[in-house]
Structure 1
Amino acid sequence: MPSNEQRRQSAKRKLERQLERRAEQAKRRRMITVGATVVVVILAVAGVVYFINTGEESTAAPQEQPPALQIPTESAPPPARPAPLASPVSCEYRPDGEAAKPVQPPANGEAPSTGTVRASIDSSVGRIPLTLDRSLAPCTVNSFINLAEQGYFDGTSCHRISTEGLQMLQCGDPTGSGSGGPGYAFDDETFPELKYGRGYLAMANSGPNTNGSQFFMVYGDAPLSPDYTVFGTISEDGLQVIDEVARAGHDGAFDAQAGGGHPNTEVTFNKVTAEA
């Protein structure tokens, strides 16, 4: 028969085992609770992220893609005067402000109004071959050749391109501002029947009889009044070069004024050549 001491020792060991089991059970319960809490937090965060993302997707306005630029694929018929000019004609080049780049004006006097002149623009985006037509604008052709021979256009950039309404690339200003010229001006060589179209090479101006060095190359539509002297045409290869510049768009710098902006693809003239 166990003694009282033995019974006390047995009861003590039983109590210790019970306390150990209870401690172990409590530890397991704490681990389960912490794990469940972590899972709940993760699910809650994921739910918030999903709600935000789906909310943004459902409430954000769809991004509109700008319409693709529509460029005519066929060149316009070559320009021609309804009646030929006398040959030669008399040309006068008047002093007009300060030259944007040192250059001498052509000599005043007679210029032929028959025949064509091959010219070429070697640019940073490719070669742009031109045909200058004396029968359209002999004084203008004479001036362009003069500027090309003196390297006036070399190293200059085309400062403006327009892609809506009037589709053209404007060049010939060494300052790149749209206000620079060669220090001289000469009269318009226009005619009322003149219509503009893809492939035309024309002079830019700031009003009647203010032609200088700036010109524009029409690569598409050109609903203009016949106030801008056309003096030649652009080859099909050259037009394709300009088309790529137009498709790259512009920065809208001139939208509030004349329209268009600086080309997103910079066009720099390395060398402009023309036959004498």
Structure 2
Amino acid sequence: MASSRDRQRKLAREKLDRQLARRAVAARRRRQIQAGVGAAVVLVLIVAGAAWGLGAFDRDPEQKAAEDVCLWTPQDAGANTSLKDVGTPATTGLPTTGVRTMTIDTDQGGPVTAELDLAAAPCAGASIAHLAGASFYDNTKCHEITAEGALRCGDPSGTGLGGPTYSFYNENVPTGPEASPSASPAPGQPPTYPKGTVAMISNPPGANGSQFLLFFKDFSPAQPAYPIIGRVTSGLDVVEKIGALPTLDNGAGAKVKPKTDVVIRKLTVGEAQAAPAPATGSPAASPAASPSAG
């Protein structure tokens, strides 16, 4: 009997050992599966987080709207019959670096060419290019030789009040060191508006339209008001020749009207291009060739 009980205990122990072994194997398998699932979940979360950060889950991706470079203020043509409606330039996508070449053909000789500085005055460059494309300046008169030593052009009415049916604010008005009212800069200081400067002029100041100045003399006012938009690169002798013409009373008590009509036959503006680098030792570094300084 003892032998029979021993055999039963042995069989029961072997059966228990087999059950424990099977349970151990099953537990290891569950742990492996759980570890694999956990790793997969972590991987999915990492990928999903990266995709979310990159905007992959944006439902309606939209392109960022282009920002306005220039704003054009409407002017009432009914209140000012000297204004000419040729539409308005674009407000976005305008070049803000480099230069545009402006070419002026006058009946006094030429051509006169100038670089419009798009970094310092992008809106002036855009406006003049737009107006030139609409033939706004063609067959118009430069109606004034100013006391400051500049030729005033760009008004089809020839009154000083004309322009397009929009205006824009000042850009690049010099602030530099104080200058004396005698139009002589302080010793060692360059002129505020060196000879060859191209600047906007408007009435009232700050409501720029189409009128511009070509300086044939250095000018340093006590309070600069004209936005500098570029510089003459060739044909300055033509501007100086026009500046030497006799003048008549303009009807408002100022002897500034050229005795001989000065007509712009054609004014064109080229596409934007990179600004040329000044050559070492060239006059480009001098005040007269760099009116946009200040």
Contact preservation (8 Å) 1:148, 1:273: yes
Runs of 4+ in 1 over 3 A off after TM superposition: none
- The alpha carbon displacement at 1:95 in A equals 0.5
SS of the equivalent of 2:83 reads coil
Query: Which aligned pairs between 1:33-182 and structure 2 lie closer than 5 A?
Result: 90-98=69-77, 100-126=83-109, 127-162=111-146, 164=147, 166-182=148-164
- The alpha carbon displacement at 1:129 in A equals 1.1
Q: Tell me which residue corresponds to 2:35.
A: none
SS of the equivalent of 1:144 reads helix
SS of the equivalent of 1:251 reads strand
- The alpha carbon displacement at 1:103 in A equals 0.8
- The alpha carbon displacement at 1:89 in A equals 6.9
The number of residue pairs the alignment matches comes to 184
Which of 165, 175, 189 pairs up with 2:171? 189
Cα-Cα RMSD: 2.0
| In 2, Cα distance between equivalents of 1:147 and 1:260 | 29
Q: 1:240 to 1:138 in 2, by over 3 A?
A: same
Contact preservation (8 Å) 1:133, 1:231: yes
Q: Which runs of 5+ in 1 are unaligned?
A: 1-87
Q: Tell me which residue corresponds to 1:249.
A: 246
Contact preservation (8 Å) 1:121, 1:271: yes
Deviations 1:212-238 (A, max 9, x none): 0111111103233332111111134x2
Q: Tell me which residue corresponds to 1:7.
A: none
| In 1, Cα distance between equivalents of 2:172 and 2:68 | 14
| In 2, Cα distance between equivalents of 1:216 and 1:114 | 22
Q: Which runs of 5+ in 2 are unaligned?
A: 1-66, 178-191, 272-294
Structure 1, 219-228 or 145-154: larger mean CA deviation: 219-228
Q: What TM-score does the superposition give when structure 2 sets the normalisation length? A: 0.58
Q: Tell me which residue corresponds to 2:189.
A: none
One-letter amino acid of the structure 1 residue matched with residue 242 of structure 2 = V
Q: What TM-score does the superposition give when structure 1 sets the normalisation length? A: 0.62
- The alpha carbon displacement at 1:260 in A equals 4.2
Contact preservation (8 Å) 1:92, 1:109: no
- The alpha carbon displacement at 1:249 in A equals 1.9
- The alpha carbon displacement at 1:208 in A equals 4.1
Deviations 1:37-66 (A, max 9, x none): xxxxxxxxxxxxxxxxxxxxxxxxxxxxxx
Residue identity over aligned pairs, in percent, reads: 33
Q: Tell me which residue corresponds to 2:224.
A: 226
Deviations 1:12-41 (A, max 9, x none): xxxxxxxxxxxxxxxxxxxxxxxxxxxxxx
| In 2, Cα distance between equivalents of 1:251 and 1:197 | 26
One-letter amino acid of the structure 2 residue matched with residue 145 of structure 1 = A
Q: Tell me which residue corresponds to 1:22.
A: none
- The alpha carbon displacement at 1:248 in A equals 2.0
- The alpha carbon displacement at 1:174 in A equals 0.3
Contact preservation (8 Å) 1:197, 1:221: yes
Contact preservation (8 Å) 2:161, 2:203: no
- The alpha carbon displacement at 1:100 in A equals 2.8
| In 2, Cα distance between equivalents of 1:155 and 1:252 | 22
